[in-house]
Amino acid sequence: MALFNTLFGARPANDRRARVLASGTAQRAAELLRSSTALLNLSEQEALTVVGYMQLRRCAEGEAIIRQGDSGGSGDDGFMALVVEGEVTVETLNVSRVDAQTVNVLGPGHLMGEMSLMDGAARSATCTASTAVRCAVLTRESLEALVTEEPATAAKLLSGVALRLSRRLREADGKLQLYSQLVFSMQQEIDRLVPDPE
């Protein structure tokens, strides 16, 4: 059995772990993956395992890391990225606007692109490197390998991503309720100022 594991089973995990432990940037990525802005539910070992499935990517200032509207058909395989160094500006282009609107600025420890990693749908925002950026990227292919080779860790990763998405959905719901109240109040004020002609 040991020979079988040596030849076929244990090498990928050992190779991945050795690469992570040999890289200060990979170890930093594992620390950041466990931060409050990323996935708190991972243990140190689980974070190191996940980072073993990620690739380091360098992005020049001004480079679009993710483009709004891109999807699997346009060369974007639905990756998720963890900012390790630098800052990323998140912008959206709405139908009613000509210029993009900045909705967030992400620094080390922030994740981006997790929605498309999960559902493969078009990107909802553009993420542009505001400075030189280093990020750790988890592709859909690497996620599938993680699920196959390390199912317990993959389950915790996916649970953490689901929790992040749930929080963002609740925040968006709160904003929609606030906007709805604002519109209702404005409509009442308009009705008061401009009485019905009847």
For the chain, give every domain's residue range: 2-187
Q: What is the pLDDT of residue 76?
A: 63
Per-residue confidence (pLDDT) for residue 7, from 0 to 100:
40
* Pairwise CA distance, residues 91 & 129, whole Å: 11
Nearest to 56 by CA among 19, 87, 88: 19
Token code pair at residue 189? 């004020």
Question: Each residue of 17-27: pLDDT tens digit?
Answer: 778 877 888 88
Whether pLDDT at 49 is above 80: yes
pLDDT (0 to 100) of residue 13: 66
What class, spelled out in words, does domain 2-187 have in CATH? mainly beta
pTM of model > 0.85: no
Going by DSSP bridges, is the β-strand pair 80-85/64-66 parallel, antiparallel, or unpaired? unpaired
Residue 5 has pLDDT above 50, yes or no: no
